[in-house]
């Protein structure tokens, strides 16, 4: 997931910001529609389910040397990636979905969307990367 979020943070949103508001809104509306597909959602939510399992396992095996890394990695994903998506990015996407690309309100919403959505996406990127790093540490013995 970190790679997908990283791409949006480093070049996708910058490219969309270069477009006229109508084009940017229309493009992002299309991206948001196509992102809701079984493969992406399955991996995104499947990773969350795995993190719930890993967090529980780490608590049950707290005496193990790497349990803390499993818990930290799981929490980074669950809070910083899944939580931020649900609480921050999805509401912004929902507002953009009903925006009229031809209106002044749409252009204003787009300007705010670019700033706010990208900021939250940076947090998701860093959180997913830290989650991966923490969980990967547990593989080293």
- Cβ burial 31-69 (10 Å sphere, 16+ → b, else e): ebeeeeeeeeeeebeebbeebeebbeebeeeeeeebbeb
Q: Helix count (H) and strand count (E) of the chain?
A: 8, 0
28 in Cβ contact with 96 (< 8 Å): yes
Find the farthest-apart pair of alpha carbons in the chain and give their distance in angstroms, rounded: 59
- How close are the terminal C-alpha atoms of the chain, in Å? 25
Q: What is the DSSP letter of 64?
A: S
Successive 10-residue mean pLDDT values, the chain, 141 residues? 97 98 98 98 98 98 96 99 99 98 97 99 99 94 56
- Entry pTM: 0.94
112 membership: H or E segment, kind and range: helix 104-137
What is the reported pLDDT for 91?
A: 99
φ/ψ of 47, rounded to 5, equals -65, -40
Give me the pLDDT at residue 141, please.
56
C-alpha 81/C-alpha 13 separation (Å) is 18
Q: Show the CA angle centred on residue 57, arms to residues 56 and 60, nearest 5°.
A: 90
Interatomic CA distance for residues 133 and 124, integer angstroms: 14
Predicted local distance difference test score (pLDDT) of residue 140: 84
């Amino acid at each position: 997931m970190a790679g997908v979020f990283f791409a949006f943070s480093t070049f996708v949103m910058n490219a969309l910001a270069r477009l006229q508001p109508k084009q940017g809104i229309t493009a992002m509306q299309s991206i948001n529609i196509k992102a809701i597909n079984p493969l992406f959602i399955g991996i995104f939510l499947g990773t969350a389910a795995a993190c719930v399992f890993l967090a529980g396992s780490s608590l049950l095996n707290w005496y193990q040397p790497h349990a803390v890394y499993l818990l930290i990695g799981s929490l980074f994903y669950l809070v910083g990636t899944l939580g931020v998506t649900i609480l921050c990015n999805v509401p912004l996407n929902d507002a953009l979905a009903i925006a009229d690309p031809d209106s002044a309100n749409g252009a204003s919403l787009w300007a705010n969307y670019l700033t706010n959505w990208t900021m939250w996406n940076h947090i998701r990127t860093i959180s997913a990367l830290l989650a991966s790093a923490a969980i990967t540490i547990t593989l080293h013995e």
